[in-house]
Every structure is written in structure tokens, then in C-alpha cells.
Amino acid sequence: MMDRLDATKPPAWYWLVAVLALLWEGAGCFVYVSQVGMSADALAQLPAAQREIWMMMPVWVTGAYAIAVWAGLAGAVALILRRRWAQPLFLVSLAAAIVQFGWTFLATPIVRTVGAAAAVPFPIFIILVAALLAWFSGRAAGRGWLR
């Protein structure tokens, strides 16, 4: 019985990944709250092109943004708690981020107005991290680290 418990105990690096995921997702939630709570004065200070894109964002894209960050945060909490529902939450977060950035790149002139070098790398990084967290949580579940 003790062997079975030891076999499902995650290694120390699991906890490092889980804590980094929690910090990353918490930062995403902070940015989301900051952006959706932006005052009219703060919005007016944005460059014109950025302000125009922000103002044309449909409610459903803001909803996808909310789902992406809050599901990601819940997934990170699930990793800390070693719960199997981490993976479905990270998959939902990944899908919502793809929807959000899909709209941004397909329906707005962001690449033309700010340039690909400024507009593309960070969203790609966000999608990559979301995919890695979904993969990691699946591997953790498969290894018995999540219950």
C-alpha cells in the first residue's frame, strides 16, 4: 500500500510547475480585470488604433477572454489541489483563448496597425502556455498525480 501512495506522489518539479501556472494565470486575471475595468480616461490615452480595436470588441469576445483567464486560474488551482478537473479547465481555457485571439487577428486590423512583430508573439506565447498546461495536466493525471 505504501508503494502505491509513493507512486502517485508528484515530484518536486510538479509543484514548481503548479505554482508557476498559478502565478501565470493570476497575472492573466489581473490583466483581464484591468482591461475590462478601464476608465474612459484610460481608454482615451491609448493610441488611436489600439483604442479603436478595443472599442470594436464584441461582448462574446470579452466573454471568451473571461473564460480563458478564469478557467485557466481554476485549472491552476486544481493542479495545486491535485484534482483531475485541471485538464478540462485548461482545455476550456485554451479553446477560449483561441477564440479570443482568432477574432482579434481575423476581424481587426491589428497586424496592419501595430505590425506583426508587435501584435503576434505574445498571443502565440499565451496559446503555447495554455496548450502546455493542458498537456501537462493530462500527463499528471495519467501518472496518478491528480485524483
pLDDT tens per residue, range 70-105 = 999 999 999 999 999 999 999 999 999 999 999 999
Residue 36 lies in a domain: yes
Query: How far is residue 122 from each of residues 16, 101, 104, 119, 145, measured CA to CA in Å?
Result: 23, 11, 13, 7, 31
Under the banding of pLDDT at 50, 70 and 90, the label for residue 27 is: very high
Reference 90, options 81, 101, 100, 78; nearest CA is 78
Residue 69 lies in a domain: yes
Look at residue 120 and give its three-state secondary structure.
coil
Is the pLDDT confidence value at 2 over 80? no
Q: If you ran DSSP here, which 8-state letter would residue 85 be given?
A: T
Residue 147 lies in a domain: no
Reference 55, options 43, 41, 67; nearest CA is 43
Residue 99 lies in a domain: yes
Q: Which domain holds residue 110?
A: 2-142
Question: Under a CB-based contact definition with an 8 Å cutoff, are residues 69 and 120 in contact?
Answer: no
Residue 58 lies in a domain: yes
Is the pLDDT confidence value at 6 over 50? no
Under the banding of pLDDT at 50, 70 and 90, the label for residue 7 is: low
For the entire predicted model, the pTM comes to 0.91
Distance of alpha carbon 45 from alpha carbon 21, whole angstroms: 32
110-126 pLDDT per residue, tens: 898 888 998 999 999 99
Domain count across the chain: 1
Residue 7 lies in a domain: yes
Residue 80 lies in a domain: yes
